[in-house]
Amino acid sequence: MSERWDPVRFKGRVDTLLADFLSREAEELLAIDARLRPVAEQLRAAAGHGKRLRAAFCYWGWRAAGQPDNEAMVRAAASMELVHAAAVVHDDLIDDSPLRHHLPTAHIALRAAVTGHPRACAAARSLAMLVGDHLMALAGQLFATSGLPASYLARARPMWGELARELIAGECLEILSTGTRPDPGVSLKVVRYKTAKYTVEQPLLIGGLLAGAAPELRAGLSAYGLPLGEAFQLRDDLLGLFGETDRTGKAGLDDIRGHRPTTLLAQAWQAALPDQRERLAVLLGRPDLGEAHLREVRELIRALKAPEQVEDMIASRMREAVGCLGGLDMPGQARRALTELAHLATDRHH
């Protein structure tokens, strides 16, 4: 690679690698039975979108420790995108989200494969669950067969266990908190464990561990990665409610309809007067919400200044993250790339 990092070129490398890997896996499924085609197609499509931020953070954890560009490392970093693909399939299933990247989510798309099944919706959901499970298994397979030395992989293996445990814990905490009284502390814990750690901090640390990074550098990468991961998810909360569907590719009312414990909702609830809380309580969790309700919720949350509060939280975490980089012993190219990645992760419109 050239001295200046090109995120578009890096994304292309990861896209090509994942497409080839998942196509081969889809063919293996079809070799078992042609009836598995709908499942194979969902597997092939599962990692077809995204900016490849998780792979990039893993890669730059490696480069921050002074290691050079390496195709085997790109392959290992790409496994982070399969973790994300698995989490997305499961998350959409848990939330019963109908749309992702302007396309039907896996459990919706798979309904066509079970037409005539006595419990078609449940069967489609079961198929989607298994697709998500297989994607997580494939993430481990891609990592293990990346081509990096076994001794390098062994250094990072414990972090894989931590990543899986904390991702599952975050998903469980969100389920257990859904429908309860909105609470900023609970919401931030869900943000941290469900998204922040596996999006930024843990990929960075896996890259650093693969490279043999010193404990001081790993601590610095954590200090950068955790607040940045939180800022990433806080931006996602804002886009979830205030982003336009034609840009985000997701339904704007998902979080309100699902009564999810987002920080945006918790901040609004905390600031609301009794009559405003009463109105929010009426809207939260209703399955029949439409565009008029979306406008009402947006107006109410704007009136409570919750978006500005969340923007302040994003900005402060962004400053904290980037501020950590100056004191770390790493190549200048890595520092510049991680600074650019911080902006890519938080200055998003979709």
Rounded CA separation 154/282 (Å): 52
- Burial class for 149, CB neighbours closer than 10 Å (0-12, 13-18, 19+): exposed
Which band of pLDDT confidence, cut at 50, 70 and 90, is reported for residue 1? very low
Percent of the chain with pLDDT over 90: 75
Rounded CA separation 87/171 (Å): 9
Q: Which two tokens stand for residue 123?
A: 């069967």
281 closest CA partner among 182, 137, 157: 182
Predicted TM-score of the model (pTM): 0.93
Query: For 42-56, 140-154, 249-263, which range has the lowest pLDDT when averaged over its residues?
Result: 249-263
Report which of residues 71 and 97 the model is more confident about.
Answer: 71
Residue 72 has pLDDT above 90, yes or no: yes
**Domain 7-346: what homologous superfamily?**
Farnesyl Diphosphate Synthase (1.10.600.10)
Arithmetic mean of pLDDT over the chain: 92
pLDDT of residue 75: 98
Residue 76 has pLDDT above 90, yes or no: yes
Q: Which residue ranges make up each domain of the chain?
A: 7-346
Residue 270 has pLDDT above 80, yes or no: yes
Rounded CA separation 123/145 (Å): 33
Rounded CA separation 265/326 (Å): 34
pLDDT tens digits, residue range 145-201?
999 999 999 999 999 999 999 999 999 999 999 888 889 999 999 999 999 999 999
Residue 350 has pLDDT above 50, yes or no: yes
pLDDT of residue 296: 86
Which band of pLDDT confidence, cut at 50, 70 and 90, is reported for residue 348? confident
The rounded radius of gyration (Å) of the Cα atoms in the chain is 21
pLDDT of residue 180: 84
pLDDT tens digits, residue range 301-342?
999 999 999 999 999 999 999 999 999 999 999 999 999 999
Rounded CA separation 211/255 (Å): 39
| Average pLDDT of the segment spanning 117-134 | 96
Long-range CB pairs of 246-249, under 8 A, 24+ apart, other chains included: 246/102, 247/349, 247/350, 248/350, 249/99, 249/100, 249/101, 249/102, 249/103, 249/350
- Is 328 in a helix, a strand, or coil? coil
User: Do 347 and 51 touch, CB atoms closer than 8 A?
Assistant: no
pLDDT tens digits, residue range 193-223?
999 999 999 999 999 999 999 999 999 999 9
pLDDT of residue 99: 83
Q: Which residues of 278-310 are buried (b: 16+ CB within 10 A; e: fewer)?
A: eebeebbeeeebeeebbeebeebbeebebbebb
Q: Which two tokens stand for residue 336?
A: 């510049």
